[in-house]
Amino acid sequence: MNDDAQDRQDHENEGFGRRAFLGTSALGLAGGLLGAGIPLQMTATGALAQSGVLDGKDRLDLLNDRPVNAETPAHLLDDEITPIDRHFIRNNGVVPAETSAEGWTLSIDGLVDSPMEMTIDELRNNFEVVTMALTLECGGNGRAFFNPPASGNQWTYGAVACSEWTGVRLREVLEAAGVQDGAIYTGHHGADMHLSGDPERSPLSRGIPIEKAMTDNVLIAFEMNGEALHPMNGAPLRLVVPGWPGSCSQKWLTRIEALDQLHDGTKMGAPSYQVPAYPVAPGTEVPLEDFEIINAMPVKSLITYPQDGADVGTEFEVRGHAWAGDRMIQRMEISTDYGESWQEVELDDPVNDGAWQNWRASASVPQAGYYEIWGRATDSDGVMQPHAIRWNPKGYLNNSFHKVALQAGDR
Ligand SMILES: Nc1nc2c(c(=O)[nH]1)N[C@H]1C(S)=C(S)[C@@H](COP(=O)(O)O)O[C@H]1N2
Ligand SMILES: [Mo]
């Protein structure tokens, strides 16, 4: 069975029996409690994560160790530029044994006039090297709160980051290869190994429409925050496709094809990284032909200070980030009274196209006690984050309000 077939099989197996089983497991229990709301950190990290130690990533919460998947607690995402040690990890397979830049090559082929194979030095020397802060979010970020639960990594909030990536523009490389008019999609290939160990199988190989590939903020990156890429984040070379599901951003990048049709690589097919083409009731079994590929990610925001459950008194700062796929954030608001009233925050412009937007506000509550801080962003199309989850079978695109618990002062 190939991987898309396996994925479809998993999908078909997600009947009520399996959900009933999940409902009694630790996972389902956490999902239920978390779905009920607050406090979050305590249940999420307690039930879901054995706190894992990963080289240079030791404060992340490990969700799975084969393949390695780890997320960043929201309060550790407070920096405007995400430090390398706080960038989440989402692997579908096994990290390549060799991740040194020495001898690494990238091939460009398919519908191009001049197929190319270049070393990383050749990329550096032949194209303009640019540095940009770019937001990367896993399509499944927020899946832990789906009810009925969705299978897959139970990400809470922390499968998102905005580091500074240095590399060359995919557009310039495709143009140098002479990408032909008939090309409509890319196909991305990486050097990671399938969990089965079968070298013929790829853990993940996705692509993007050629118009997106030609956007100025899509990079073939060889540095992260001015250093070599972390092995878990795709060293020595990766794509960064900001604002689209993280799965478009192929790590350990070895080859890009230009195609005259949709790429057919692993996890391009439904239901992977796809959602139903119409709204469905929670728990609905959706026929595979009714799914469509996720392109730009929806408007979303994160509160990174105060930390969930913290006591910061009755007057405090609130801050975080907001982002919206290919669009900008127009307005960011917070509420400390369960949505009765909203306060607009101070919102920065993105440092460049594709970066998340930082925001901050001075807030206060009328007396000591328990509160929740809620955040909601509105994008440049006027679309606001929803209060609740739009359920879909695979648990993608949860962009509902972020809420943190606050114990304001002694009672
Ligand atoms: N080769 C390869 N690239 C990959 C993946 C993978 O498993 N293999 N995972 C993708 C997914 S699903 C996401 S969300 C991002 C995560 O990037 P990060 O691990 O650097 O945070 O990488 C993407 N690129
Ligand atoms: Mo992802």
State whether the beta carbon of 138 lies less than 6 angstroms from ligand 1.
yes
Place of tokens 């982002």: 323
Indicate if 61 and 148 belong to the same structural domain. yes
Mutate to test the pocket of ligand 1, among 91, 237, 297 (most ligand atoms within 8 A of CB): 91
Indicate if 347 and 332 belong to the same structural domain. yes
Q: What is the total count of domains within the chain?
A: 2
Give the domain range for residue 334.
300-408
Indicate if 149 and 229 belong to the same structural domain. yes
Indicate if 214 and 171 belong to the same structural domain. yes
The pLDDT tens digits for 272-324 are 999 999 999 999 999 999 999 999 999 999 999 999 999 999 999 999 999 99
State whether the beta carbon of 158 lies less than 6 angstroms from ligand 1.
no
pLDDT at 50: 39
Indicate if 31 and 60 belong to the same structural domain. yes
State whether the beta carbon of 189 lies less than 6 angstroms from ligand 1.
no
- Last residue of one domain, picked from the residues 269, 293, 317: 293
Q: Which ligand is the nearest neighbour of the Cα of 87?
A: 1
State mean pLDDT over 20-43: 34
pLDDT at 25: 34
State whether the beta carbon of 89 lies less than 6 angstroms from ligand 1.
yes
DSSP classification of residue 24: H
The pLDDT tens digits for 45-103 are 333 333 334 788 989 999 999 999 999 999 999 999 999 999 999 999 999 999 999 99
Indicate if 331 and 233 belong to the same structural domain. no
State whether the beta carbon of 247 lies less than 6 angstroms from ligand 1.
yes
- Last residue of one domain, picked from the residues 278, 293, 308: 293
pLDDT at 55: 81
Look up the CATH number of the domain holding residue 110.
3.90.420.10
Quote the tokens at residue 321: 């980030």
C-alpha 182 – ligand 2 centre gap (Å): 29
Quote the tokens at residue 271: 């239901």
pLDDT at 411: 72
Look up the CATH number of the domain holding residue 351.
2.60.40.650
Ligand 1 atom at minimum distance from 246 CA: 14
The pLDDT tens digits for 138-191 are 999 999 999 999 999 999 999 999 999 999 999 999 999 999 999 999 999 999
Indicate if 333 and 215 belong to the same structural domain. no
Cβ neighbours of residue 31 closer than 8 Å, sequence gap 6 or more = 22, 144, 145, 146, 147, 149, 154
Note the pTM of the prediction, 2 decimals: 0.90
Helix or strand run (H / E) with residue 257: strand 253-259
Angstrom distances, CA of residue 131 to CA of 101, 168, 219: 18, 9, 9
Indicate if 240 and 381 belong to the same structural domain. no
Judge whether 228 and 280 are in contact, CB under 8 Å: no
Indicate if 311 and 280 belong to the same structural domain. no
Indicate if 362 and 334 belong to the same structural domain. yes
* 108: three-class secondary structure by DSSP: strand
Quote the tokens at residue 167: 């590399």
The pLDDT tens digits for 38-55 are 433 333 333 333 333 478
pLDDT at 52: 36
Alpha-carbon distance of 405 to 372, in angstroms, equals 5
Q: Which ligand is the nearest neighbour of the Cα of 143?
A: 2
- Last residue of one domain, picked from the residues 262, 293, 324: 293
State whether the beta carbon of 244 lies less than 6 angstroms from ligand 1.
no
Task: Output phi, psi for 222, to 5 deg.
Answer: -125, 0
* 330: three-class secondary structure by DSSP: strand
Closest CA to 403 of 180, 145, 208: 145
Residues within 5 A (CB) of ion ligand 2: 90, 138, 246-247
State whether the beta carbon of 203 lies less than 6 angstroms from ligand 1.
yes
Indicate if 162 and 287 belong to the same structural domain. yes
Indicate if 31 and 52 belong to the same structural domain. yes
Mean pLDDT, the chain, whole residue set: 90
